[in-house]
Amino acid sequence: MAAAAGVLLVLTAAVLLLLVEGGEPPYSCGPRSPSSGYAFCDARLPPARRAADLVSRLTAAEKVAQLGDEAGGVARLGVPPYKWWSEGLHGLSYWGHGMHFNGAVTAITSFPQVLLTAAAFDDRLWFRIGQAIGTEARALYNLGQAEGLTIWSPNVNIYRDPRWGRGQETPGEDPTTASKYAVAFVKGLQGSTPGTLQTSACCKHATAYDLEEWNGVARYNFNAKVTAQDLADTFNPPFKSCVVDAKASCVMCAYTDINGVPACASSDLLSKTFRGQWGLDGYVSSDCDAVALLRDAQRYAPTPEDTVAVAIKVHGMAALQQGKMRESDVDRALTNLFAVRMRLGHFDGDPRSNAAYGHLGAADVCTQAHRDLALEAAQDGIVLLKNDAGALPLDRATVRSAAVIGPNANDPAALNGNYFGPPCETTTPLQGVQRYISSVRFLAGCDSPACGFAATGQAAALASSSDQVIMFMGLSQDQEKEGLDRTSLLLPGKQQSLITAVASAARRPVILVLLTGGPVDVTFAKNNPKIGAILWAGYPGQAGGLAVAKVLFGDHNPSGRLPVTWYPEEFTRIPMTDMRMRADPATGYPGRSYRFYQGNPVYKFGYGLSYSKFSRRLVAAAKPRRPNRNLLAGVIPKQAGDGGESYHVEEIGEEGCERLKFPATVEVHNHGPMDGKHSVLVFVRWPNATAGASRPARQLVGFSSQHVRAGEKARLTMEINPCEHLSRAREDGTKVIDRGSHFLKVGEEDDEWEISFDA
């Protein structure tokens, strides 16, 4: 009998190997599976019950083997190996172990890096991008080119410090924007089929993480000292939205310590908050090697066995044998993991028979619709920062010759950002310009974006002999990326002197296009009359060159708005390790983000020009009513401690908060001369914001975008939830709504709505 069982085990393992090597998707519970009769193969049962049944059949050694990001197979039960780590920030990625591009599919759609996409302020766009990435991941899985469908994206950390190398991966500095991005992207990625996940999304990195290495302090040993107030109103809201509103099936904890406790070992964060308060239905992942770092860098636990007893990942068997971890702890973790795989359909037989996603294959990757979406996303995110005397758009009929200068002009790598995969196709900015002008001469000008060497004389000569000069400058992954923060906000090396020299030599004001992740201090270019226009194009993805060219030549009217504040170079005097968001005038600390920064930015959050003149107004007929006094009956305002009286959101209750919601309608008028998309940003202003440092100067509460034809008007309506949008966090983290007046305003417009809260 034992020999027969051994033969069965070997045969089963061989079958599993053939399934992967033969281009078949890995799965369990097929008709020939040795476990087809077990409860975990019964698709009629709830995922958690099925997962618990599977876990109950594993030996201790088999259980521990499932705890890493590369989970071993269990051949005797017909369970194939599984790779948890795949990336999909702006397209499927080389990073991770779960996706492979060496079969029927060798390329995927590469969308713009996230920060540029965020500049569109369009949650419908974000949803569609997530949906496309999820579709392509499923297609690869069905083709046998994926060993997992757990996508460790999106990154919804707040872009707190402009030097952060990974800020490019995020939706920016604003918690409302990051929260809405999280919801839209996760819903798109995970799909809309009840009970079945298209892919599993993982929101990372909880929480208050935005430092790689600064002045000898690395993310691996950084203790982020964060106030309860900043956690409540800045760092945690995007993760809460991920779990509560988007129903993300995973949250990843960060490398860093939070107030002395490693994020990946914080019971308050992982158990009390994620699962208890927010109701996470899924699993918690540590960032790569974060658990090992609990001991090696952070010294949170004295031995590997003590460490795994905290976070349950490595040295598992020894921790069990030494009694430092109970098997029930492992069972709980594995049940959460396998429940997600159940929801992905990995235990429902051949995934190609799945009614919702089984039909997806090679024809669903790099489709024309996805390519068009990549172009749309890049176009809609590009921000026009300067346009003196109508320097843009260019008239191709009057530009007989053009000089394209810059290290980012013809380098496909400049389009990608980080966490990228092999793109379907690539159009560099030079190639984009060449579609519009036949006589184009190109010079890199610098040896690289670092620009240690600049061909200044050659570039100036080229500029002086051309009708129009377009410069493509900025940064690269050699200046900003995971593991690498910047030390300066200026353009690197000799870029500034090269740009200035070229501008001086040019016949007409030059056009400066910046390809960067994070913000740069380009005050010199902003103030130079010989530089006619400035565009920020982020890292714009596979269609980035064409998108930039369409904007330059007027085939697309720019509508992007900055999702981060562009600070002056002097901001770099502030330690990156100072986590405080709020300003401290007594010590000269200027605060961070548009909500609290008291300095003079180079460009403000939400700034962006258009080729058309737009006006906006809050529609009088739709102004919100004064909140019904009865809705606050029984809720007693309390002294806020930092000025005035406040209603506690917790006491208003879920039902009361629901009834307080109201619509805000904004009328947009495009005065011409071009059709174009327009994003409306609505802020709340507190009249007593300066009374105490606890209140933001203003806070974004909603946004919406709409394409409006020249000469026409459109109305955009967004829902305002006072408990979420008009509340603020007290010093202890308690969310409150101040008694008295609040004012809604659109961007920098003077028009305001007054909303009063009195019982």
Q: With respect to residue 149, please indicate whether it lies within any of the assigned structural domains.
A: no
For residue 642, the model assigns a pLDDT of 63
Which residues span the domain enclosing 745?
612-756
**For residue 3, what pLDDT band results from cuts at 50, 70 and 90?**
very low
Q: What residues pair up with 676 in beta bridges, in sequence order?
A: 708
Q: Do residues 465 and 561 both lie within one domain?
A: yes
Q: What is the mean pLDDT of residues 303-321?
A: 56
750 pLDDT exceeds 80? no
Residue 193 CB partners (closer than 8 Å, separation 6+) = 356, 357
Q: With respect to residue 389, please indicate whether it lies within any of the assigned structural domains.
A: yes
For residue 287, the model assigns a pLDDT of 57
pLDDT tens for each residue of 678-736: 999 999 988 765 544 578 989 999 999 999 999 999 999 999 999 999 999 999 999 99
In the numeric block, which tokens belong to residue 544?
């980035």
Q: What is the mean pLDDT of residues 251-255?
A: 91
**For residue 211, what pLDDT band results from cuts at 50, 70 and 90?**
very high
Cβ pair 208, 260 in contact under 8 A: no
Q: With respect to residue 556, please indicate whether it lies within any of the assigned structural domains.
A: yes
Distance CA 470, CA 434 (A): 12
pLDDT tens for each residue of 403-436: 999 999 999 999 999 999 999 999 999 999 999 9
For residue 22, the model assigns a pLDDT of 40
**For residue 293, what pLDDT band results from cuts at 50, 70 and 90?**
very low
Per-residue three-class SS string for 348-387: CCCHHHCCCCCCCCHHHCCCHHHHHHHHHHHHHHCEEEEE
For residue 13, the model assigns a pLDDT of 37
The distance from CA 756 to its chain's CA centroid, rounded to whole angstroms, is 34
Average pLDDT, the chain: 90
Q: With respect to residue 411, please indicate whether it lies within any of the assigned structural domains.
A: yes
CATH number for the domain harbouring residue 418: 3.40.50.1700
Task: Please tell me which residue in 287, 364, 380, 521 is annotated as part of the active site.
Answer: 287
Distance CA 499, CA 224 (A): 39
Q: Do residues 428 and 528 both lie within one domain?
A: yes
Apex CA 167: angle with CA 476 and CA 433, to 5°? 40
The total of structural domains in the chain comes to: 3
Cβ pair 19, 25 in contact under 8 A: yes
Q: With respect to residue 392, please indicate whether it lies within any of the assigned structural domains.
A: yes
For residue 525, the model assigns a pLDDT of 98
For residue 456, the model assigns a pLDDT of 98
pLDDT tens for each residue of 343-371: 999 999 999 999 999 999 999 999 999 99
**For residue 643, what pLDDT band results from cuts at 50, 70 and 90?**
low
For residue 10, the model assigns a pLDDT of 32
Helix (H, G, I), strand (E, B) or coil at 225: coil
Q: With respect to residue 522, please indicate whether it lies within any of the assigned structural domains.
A: yes
Q: With respect to residue 593, please indicate whether it lies within any of the assigned structural domains.
A: no
Q: Do residues 336 and 433 both lie within one domain?
A: no
Q: Where are the beta strands (DSSP E) in 370-520?
A: 383-387, 402-405, 440-443, 468-474, 510-515
Distance CA 727, CA 90 (A): 32
For residue 315, the model assigns a pLDDT of 61
CA torsion 608→700→721→179, rounded to 10°?
90
Helix (H, G, I), strand (E, B) or coil at 145: coil
Cβ pair 590, 157 in contact under 8 A: no
188 pLDDT exceeds 50? yes
Cβ pair 301, 307 in contact under 8 A: yes
Cβ pair 168, 480 in contact under 8 A: yes
pLDDT tens for each residue of 124-156: 999 999 999 999 999 999 999 999 999 999 999
11 pLDDT exceeds 50? no
Q: What is the mean pLDDT of residues 214-230?
A: 94
Q: Do residues 537 and 637 both lie within one domain?
A: no
Q: With respect to residue 550, please indicate whether it lies within any of the assigned structural domains.
A: yes
To the query of whether residue 287 is one of the catalytic residues in this protein, the response is yes
DSSP letters along 674-720, please?
S-EEEEEEEEEE-TTGGGSTTS-S-EEEEEEEEEE-TT-EEEEEEEE
555 pLDDT exceeds 90? yes
Q: Do residues 554 and 656 both lie within one domain?
A: no
Examine the fold and report which residue of 542, 573, 604 is the final residue of a domain before the chain moves on: 573
Q: Which of 42-51, 551-560, 651-660 has the lowest mean pLDDT?
A: 651-660
